[in-house]
Structure 1
Amino acid sequence: MRRIIFHIDVNNAFLSWSAVYRLSKGETLDIRTIPSVIGGDEASRRGVVLAKSNAAKKFGVVTGESIYTAKKKCPDLMVFPKNSDAYSYYSNEVIKIFQEYTDYIERYSIDESFLDVTALAGKEPYRLAYEIKERIKKELGFTVNVGISDNKILAKMASEFEKPDKIHTLYRSEIKEKLWPLPIEELFMVGKQATKRLKDMYIFTIGDLANYDPSLLKQKFKSYGELIWKYANGLGEEEINYQEEEAKVISNELTLPKDVQSKTEAAEVLKELADKLGRRIRALNRYCTTIGVHIKTSEFINYSHQKKLKTATCSTAVIYNTALELFEKKWQYEPVRLLGISLSGLCEEAIEQTSFFSDSGVGMIKEQKLDKVLDSLKDKYGDEIISKLSLREDKSGKRS
Structure 2
Amino acid sequence: MNQRLIFHIDVNSAYLSWSAVEKKKNGSPQDLREIPAIIGGDMASRHGVVLAKSIPAKAYGISTGEPVAHALRKCPHLVLEPPDHSLYAACSRRLMELLVTFCPAVEQVSIDECYMDFTDCLKNYESPAAAAALIKDTVRDTFGFTVNIGISTNKLLAKMASDFQKPDRVHTLFPEEIPARMWPLPVRDLFMVGKSSAAALAKLEIRTIGDLAHTDVAVLESHLKSHGRLIWEFANGLDESPVQTEESELKGVGNSTTLARDAETSADAKWVLRKLCQQVSGRLKRYGQLAGMVSTEIRYASFVRVSHQMQLPVSTDEEQVLYHHACLLFDELWNGEPVRLLGVRTSRLATEPEPVQMSLFDLPKTQKELRAERAMESLQAKFGKEIIKKGF
Q: What TM-score do you get using the length of structure 1 for normalisation?
A: 0.59
Shift of 1:217: 1.0
1:238 Cα offset (Å): 4.2
Q: Is residue 2:161 matched to residue 1:149?
A: no
* Displacement of 1:181: 1.3
Q: Which has the larger radius of gyration?
A: 1
Q: Secondary structure at the match of 1:119?
A: coil
Q: Does 1:120 align with 2:121?
A: yes
- 2:31 counterpart residue number: 30
- Paired position in structure 1 for 2:19: 18
Q: Per the alignment, in what secondary structure is the counterpart of residue 118 of structure 1?
A: coil
Question: How much does 1:184 deviate?
Answer: 0.8
Contact 1:150 1:238 in 2 (8 A): no
Alpha-carbon separation, structure 2, partners of 1:43 and 1:212: 47
State how 1:102-117 maps to structure 2 within 5 Å.
Answer: 102-117=103-118
Shift of 1:28: 2.5
Aligned to 2:48: 47
**Secondary structure of the equivalent of 1:95?**
helix
Measured after TM superposition, the shift of residue 43 of structure 1 is: 4.2
Pair 1:101–1:80, CA change in 2 (3 A): same
Aligned counterpart, 1:61: 62
What is the one-letter code of the residue matched to 2:159?
K
Runs of 5+ in structure 2 lacking a partner? 250-392
Shift of 1:90: 0.8
Aligned to 2:82: 81
8 A contact 1:45–1:68 mirrored in 2: no
Name the counterpart of 2:100.
Answer: 99
Query: How big is the shift at 1:106?
Result: 0.5
Does residue 4 of structure 1 match 2:5?
Answer: yes
Counterpart of 1:178? Answer: 181
The one-letter code of the counterpart of 2:216 is D
- How many angstroms does 1:45 deviate by? 8.0
Question: Do the aligned partners of 1:45 and 1:67 also contact (CA within 8 Å) in 2?
Answer: no
Aligned to 2:207, the other structure's residue is in SS state coil
Report what 1:163 is aligned to: 166
Matches within 5 A, 1:128-277: 128-244=131-247
Distance between the aligned counterparts of 2:221 and 2:50, measured in 1?
Answer: 36
Once the two structures are TM-superposed, the CA of residue 183 in structure 1 deviates from its matched residue by 1.2
Matched residue of 1:102: which SS?
A: coil
Q: Cα distance 1:15–1:220, how it changes in 2: closer, same or farther (>3 A)?
A: same
- 1:142 offset after TM fit, Å? 0.7
Correspondences of 1:308-327 after superposition (within 5 Å)? none
Q: Structure 1: which 5+ residue stretches go unaligned? A: 247-400
Distance 1:45 1:190, change over 3 A: closer
2:109 is paired with a residue of what secondary structure? strand
CA pair 60-124 structure 1, distance change in 2 beyond 3 A? same
Aligned residues of 1:144 and 1:164 also touching (Cα < 8 A): yes
Helix, strand or coil at the partner of 2:69: helix
Query: Does the CA-based 8 Å contact 1:17-1:142 persist in structure 2?
Result: yes
Give the superposition deviation at 1:27: 2.1
Report which stretch shifted further, 37-46 or 172-181.
37-46
- Distance in 1 (CA, whole Å) between partners of 2:47 and 2:236 is 41
Decide which moves more: 11-20 or 215-224.
215-224
Identity %: 48
Q: Number of paired residues? A: 246
Alignment match, 2:316? none
- The Cα shift of 1:243 comes to 0.6
Letter in 2 for 1:70: A
Q: Give 3-state SS (helix, strand or coil) of 1:222's partner.
A: helix
